[in-house]
Structure 1
């Protein structure tokens, strides 16, 4: 599986998670590091969602912007793409980068389990507290 971090996340999160999950055969990349994305890092949400949908690989994504679920075009693209997505809770913006990276690693086993037991598309919010469970979001 490949994990895409969108523009609303720091590239540090992708490289940190990649270092952890590459041992399990997975890959994490930031949108700026996806070479064949039509408009590169400047791709709209709908463009990168379509890119992931058209890819022969299994993708999931992590976003720092919960508004992705409020835009009708983006919601429709997410539904048709059949992706698993995770949105960082709003509190992450005020949390130091090292703590956000640690929380992502802490929640990774639960995130991967959800992608295995739930049919795509699905969306979940990643809380900023380690003891809090991921919350399902309506898609």
Structure 2
């Protein structure tokens, strides 16, 4: 499974998780690996799918924007939205926490319906759980 880390997160997160993820037949890239800065989210989703991306990890609240949510569902991306607390973590702790959550995120992505969105708490993985985001419509 191929996953991408959004541009609102450091590219070093993708580079730190990718070698471990590859041990389990996953690939992790950063969106800047194939798009320029400031590309709209909807264009980004289309390009990502063309590049074989199935999972998108972000701080953006895509589920709150109808056009973005519709694009996610139409394209069949699985999106993991990192909760507010993630932006309080420094890079080392973000990388460690994301790596800790990664196996559960990939299991969820493999089982989820295309177009699903999940919230990832900033808590350590054993203390939290991935929460499905329901449509606001």
TM-score, normalised to structure 1, is 0.88
Structure 1: runs of 5 or more not aligned:
none
Q: Is 1:62 matched with 2:38?
A: no
* Over 4 Å off, 4+ runs: none
Within the candidate set 77, 80, 94, 1:83 is matched to 77
Q: Give the aligned partner of residue 18 of structure 1.
A: 18
Aligned equivalents of 1:129, 1:29: Cα separation in 2: 24
Q: Is 1:95 matched with 2:89?
A: yes
1:33-69 deviations in Å (ceiling 9; x for gaps): 12xx4xx2321100011123344x3521100112x22
Aligned equivalents of 2:15, 2:120: Cα separation in 1: 18
Measured on the aligned residues, the alpha-carbon RMSD in Å equals 1.4
Q: Is 1:129 matched with 2:123?
A: yes
Structure 2: runs of 5 or more not aligned:
none
Q: Is the Cα–Cα contact under 8 Å of residues 52 and 81 in structure 1 kept in the other structure?
A: no
Aligned residues: 133
Q: Give the aligned partner of residue 8 of structure 2.
A: 8
Within the candidate set 115, 123, 129, 2:109 is matched to 115
5 Å-filtered alignment, 1:30-69, equals 30-34=30-34, 37=35, 40-55=36-51, 57-66=52-61, 68-69=62-63
Displacement after TM superposition at 1:124 (Å): 0.7
TM-score, normalised to structure 2, is 0.89
